Structure 1
Amino acid sequence: MKHTHRAHAIAACLVLAALLPAALAEPTDDAPAAAARDPDYAAGKAAMDRKDWAEAVRRLQQAAVRDPESADLQNHLGYAYRNLGQLPTALRHYERAIALNPRHRGAHEYMGEAYLMLGDLPNAEKHLAALRRICLLPCEELADLEQAIRQHRLRSSAR
């Protein structure tokens, strides 16, 4: 009987060890295959790289018509609209990205930053808390939002 329990325990550990990388892996914020499949997605990302936000929005919107369930596309649209200064529209796209993928690190980071731009620290901190739950290992999005909140607090206290 002891050997059966030990064998089951070893089998369970092996299964957990096999699943652990997937559990710790964070959702990707970019699916390279999606950009390769859709010329508008690729052109929108290229426009973002050039900081041509209006072109990025135009092309990403076209890609989103064909792929309305892509959290990544919604996140990119939010980012482009945020850089155009259209924060309410940006927030709607971030909300959609998070609705599609509640663990989308990029959307949580960028939404938190958008709230900071609006002076809404409590909502930014909600997204920071979400990133703390999502990032089982240190992640760039968590570090970036923590830094943005620190800077926001410093600017606020200097006033």
Structure 2
Amino acid sequence: MKKLLLAMLLVSGFAHAADTPVMNVPTVNQRMKAARDAIAKSDWRTAKFETQKVVSEEPGNADAHNLLAFSYRKQDKPDLAKAFEHYKIALRLNPQHKGAHEYIGEAYLMDRKPAQAEQHLADLEKICGNRSCEEYQDLEKAIAAYRKANP
């Protein structure tokens, strides 16, 4: 009798489990890929959503802070305060983060602070060990364009 009762309980447990919806929560890597895909499409709302989720799950993820800041900076109405906040967090977490140095430099140009942008260019030269890394070259071009437009 006990075996029959136990078997019935086990079977009913399996039946109940089949009725329970399964939640597929995206992993951090999936969210970062979704954010990068959204950025490629200039879908800043989705990029912010995905990177905010990553930041809430992994507050020490410098890449997520960098992409979140990038999304704040690139949206139709840039939120430079939020962008600077997250770039600074990314750089505090990883002072050698080339992307964060490049992008915060570009944000400083948007904020009309070329001297700060040039400091990040100098940081990139030290990090890269030369002037040929992509991040250095991109920020150098942005500074040159800024200087030409604002003599």
- TM-score, normalized by the shorter chain, greater than 0.5: yes
- The aligned residue for residue 124 of structure 1 is 117
The yes-or-no answer on 1:87 pairing with 2:117 is no
Query: How do residues 101-140 of structure 1 correspond to structure 2 at under 5 angstroms?
Result: 101-137=94-130, 138-140=132-134
In structure 2, C-alpha distance between the alignment counterparts of 1:126 and 1:36, rounded to whole Å: 36
- 2:61 corresponds, among 54, 67, 70, to 70
Q: State the secondary structure of the residue aligned to 2:150.
A: helix
- 2:136 corresponds, among 131, 136, 142, to 142
- 2:50 corresponds, among 34, 44, 59, to 59
Task: Give the fraction of aligned pairs with identical amino acids, expressed as a percent.
Answer: 41
Residues 36 and 42, structure 1, Cα contact 8 Å, conserved in 2 = no
- The aligned residue for residue 31 of structure 1 is none
Cα deviation, 1:87-141, whole Å, max 9, x if unaligned, reads 1100111000000000000000000000000110111111111111111142000
**Deviation of residue 38 (structure 1)?**
3.3
Q: State the secondary structure of the residue aligned to 1:38.
A: helix
Q: State the secondary structure of the residue aligned to 1:51.
A: coil
Across the two proteins, how many residue pairs are aligned to each other?
123
**Deviation of residue 39 (structure 1)?**
2.7
* TM-score normalised according to structure 2 size: 0.77
In structure 2, C-alpha distance between the alignment counterparts of 1:115 and 1:38, rounded to whole Å: 29
**Deviation of residue 68 (structure 1)?**
1.0
Task: Give 4+ residue runs of structure 1 displaced > 4 Å after superposition.
Answer: none
Gaps of 5+ in 1: 1-34
* TM-score normalised according to structure 1 size: 0.73
RMSD: 1.5
Give the counterpart letter for 1:102 in structure 2: P
User: Could you tell which deviates more after superposition, 130-139 or 103-112?
Assistant: 130-139
**Deviation of residue 83 (structure 1)?**
0.5
**Deviation of residue 44 (structure 1)?**
1.5
In structure 1, C-alpha distance between the alignment counterparts of 2:27 and 2:72, rounded to whole Å: 23
In structure 2, C-alpha distance between the alignment counterparts of 1:40 and 1:106, rounded to whole Å: 19
Distance 1:135 1:99, change over 3 A: same
Distance 1:40 1:129, change over 3 A: same
